[in-house]
Structure 1
Amino acid sequence: MTEAAIETPGGVRVDIAVCTFRRPELAETLRSLAAISVPNGAAIRIIVADNDVEPSAAGLVDALRTEVPFEIDYVHCPASNISIARNACLDNATGDYLAFVDDDETVSRDWLAHLLETALATGAEAVLGPVRAGYDLDAPSWMRRGDFHSTRPVWVGGEIVTGYTCNVLLDRKRPSLAGRRFNLALGRTGGEDTEFFTHMHNDGGGIAYAPDALVYEIVPEKRARFEWLARRRFRSGQTHGRLLVQTAAASGKTAEIVRAAAKSGYCLTASLLFVASPVVRSRYALRAIMHAGVVSGLFGVRELEQYGASEVAAP
């Protein structure tokens, strides 16, 4: 455990939350957290929220306690609903800040220092960092060249209007986060983080970006497929469409449907035109699928399930 160069207010406390569901990769996540640089004056605590029916991660966590120089609070919060796990982290957090990372990720040494530095510099309620994907050589070459699995924020009109939980720091003291929780109805489909941050932003919460707060994720074989990306993009579109419905009047909803359908058609046409370029073709095809998901969400079609037992069962 080393100290980072940045200064933090004396006694600042940071909880780091890891939601887990039957993933042995959790061990490497915790080992990477054990090696982070600790900003001067910061106290670190880790929360592991086990979302399995049985407390299947308890033994792994106990075995690693001697390797991790921070307190680990293990919370069993069944079952198979990621929102339950995320809310358990919010309910058990006691620090000034709460960071989220996934149980199949590893963090860079200065990850937390960069998140805190950006939070203090900007005063934002949430600070996002990038997730850099790593591919096995068995992954399709177009996928590796196009880097389709890395995660970065999207700017709209010069600002970030929503976020994700795979690499984020929350300032728990801020009013826009007070009492806010993840939607249980989205805990098996995904999109609960998009909704959470969209509503936080709509209530005045700012979202900043720390580009050097790197987190790494190895893409497993079952995700290194166009079909997995397509399901992911379609569900993401469904979430966006559902959020649009919440703010659009009846006439506005019709206009959004027409707009999303037109974008889907345009991207589909472009993917056919670039059939000889696998990276460009795939990028346009996935955007076409995402906009088709928006249409689906605007029509109120139930979102695809991605998490919990359905993810484990996926081929």
Structure 2
Amino acid sequence: MTKPTTEMTRDVRVDIAVCTFRRAELAETLRSLAAIAVPDGTAIRIIVADNDVQPSAAPLVDALRPGVPFEIDYVHCPAGNISIARNACLDNATGHYLAFVDDDETVSRDWLLRLLETAVATGAEAVLGPVRAGYDLSAPSWMRRGDFHSTRPVWVGGEIVTGYTCNVLLDRNHPALVGRRFNLALGRTGGEDTEFFTHMHKAGGRLAYASDALVYEIVPENRASFQWLAKRRFRSGQTHGRLLAQAAAGGGRAVGIVRAAAKSGYCAIASLLFVVSPVVRSRYALRAIMHAGVVSGLLGVRELEQYGASEVAAR
């Protein structure tokens, strides 16, 4: 088996968590995990956390078991709340490391190797990898050119201060992660991962980036629209605004509202100025919507739901 360039000096156990909710694409996710390269001395176990009311993913997982060279632990954790599923993965993990990928993604062959290399080299509590979006020809040309669905970390002042669960490796033994769980109140809206990693970072946890730990996601037709992106950006802004509100003291919230509103207005005007350039126009428009979401979050408006019944309705 392939060894990473940074040598693993001891036996390592890695759990790979996949939270699922009525997605047939889970089959391709598991097939891609079955083909990953694993360093010598590393044991792999896959945790599938089924968030449906009924254990609907169980037959698919059982059918795929013979073709997967790793143990698969199927966990039924109802229902319709992604935080319940993510916490079930944390509760059932036994390895030194726990990786998360989504049930509509496929991983590259060297994905885990690259995450482990970076974890060993940096000692970071969490290592993020990129998610590269794939579009079919039915997606708008501006969307394909601008690559609006790919996921990468954002640096603030030269460091990563929050993260995501669609491609991440956690070192479970670090104090900033011990006992940490995803917020159940955000399990239907999303943003639970942003909050998780923001609080981890504030507790002294570090986030690193493995740029070649690639994960791929095909964008389905119902997500290849400006409306879907706008809803996603607004909800992301709401989460950011709520976190800002939690940290604000005195007049800090009012200052935050004014600042976010000004940014939203600036981006809205910029989107109009670039009306002849669909990619640039859409970027500014989506940023305007995101900052409007920050205002909403600072004002305490409840975040939009995107999991459970809302997720089913969107498919």
TM-score range, shorter chain: over 0.9
2:62 maps to 1:71: no
Q: CA deviation at 1:313?
A: 0.5
2:221 is aligned to 221
1:247 is aligned to 247
Tell whether the 8 Å contact from 2:234 to 2:292 is kept in structure 1 after alignment: yes
Q: CA deviation at 1:4?
A: 3.1
Segments ≥4 residues shifted beyond 3 Å: none
Following the alignment from structure 1 to structure 2, what is the Cα–Cα distance between the partners of residues 294 and 146?
23
Tell whether the 8 Å contact from 2:4 to 2:117 is kept in structure 1 after alignment: no
2:39 maps to 1:4: no
SS at match of 2:251: helix
1:311 is aligned to 311
SS at match of 1:211: coil
2:162 maps to 1:162: yes
1:107 is aligned to 107
Following the alignment from structure 2 to structure 1, what is the Cα–Cα distance between the partners of residues 152 and 2?
27
Structure 1: stretches of 5+ with no match in the other structure: none
The amino acid that maps onto 1:44 is I
The amino acid that maps onto 1:272 is L
Q: CA deviation at 1:33?
A: 0.2
Task: Calculate the TM-score normalised by the size of structure 1.
Answer: 0.99
1:232 is aligned to 232
SS at match of 2:11: strand
Tell whether the 8 Å contact from 1:4 to 1:110 is kept in structure 2 after alignment: no
Which structure is higher in strand share? Answer: 1
Task: Calculate the TM-score normalised by the size of structure 2.
Answer: 0.99
Following the alignment from structure 1 to structure 2, what is the Cα–Cα distance between the partners of residues 44 and 238?
37
Following the alignment from structure 1 to structure 2, what is the Cα–Cα distance between the partners of residues 279 and 53?
40
The amino acid that maps onto 2:186 is L
> Where in structure 2 are the equivalents of 1:37-76 lying within 5 Å?
37-76=37-76
Tell whether the 8 Å contact from 1:5 to 1:40 is kept in structure 2 after alignment: no
Following the alignment from structure 1 to structure 2, what is the Cα–Cα distance between the partners of residues 232 and 39?
37
Deviates more, 1:300-309 or 1:286-295: 300-309
Q: What fraction of aligned residue pairs are identical, expressed as a percent?
A: 84
Tell whether the 8 Å contact from 1:223 to 1:229 is kept in structure 2 after alignment: yes
Root mean square deviation of aligned Cα: 0.7
Tell whether the 8 Å contact from 1:139 to 1:221 is kept in structure 2 after alignment: yes
> Where in structure 2 are the equivalents of 1:167-246 lying within 5 Å?
167-246=167-246
Structure 2: stretches of 5+ with no match in the other structure: none
Following the alignment from structure 2 to structure 1, what is the Cα–Cα distance between the partners of residues 143 and 254?
35
1:260-283 Cα shifts (integer Å, max 9, x gaps): 000000000000000000000000
1:145 is aligned to 145
SS at match of 2:211: coil
SS at match of 2:23: coil
Following the alignment from structure 2 to structure 1, what is the Cα–Cα distance between the partners of residues 8 and 48?
25
Q: CA deviation at 1:5?
A: 3.7
1:133 is aligned to 133
Count of residues in Structure 1 that have an aligned counterpart in Structure 2: 314
Following the alignment from structure 2 to structure 1, what is the Cα–Cα distance between the partners of residues 121 and 272?
46
The amino acid that maps onto 1:4 is K
SS at match of 1:138: coil
The amino acid that maps onto 2:236 is S
The amino acid that maps onto 2:96 is D
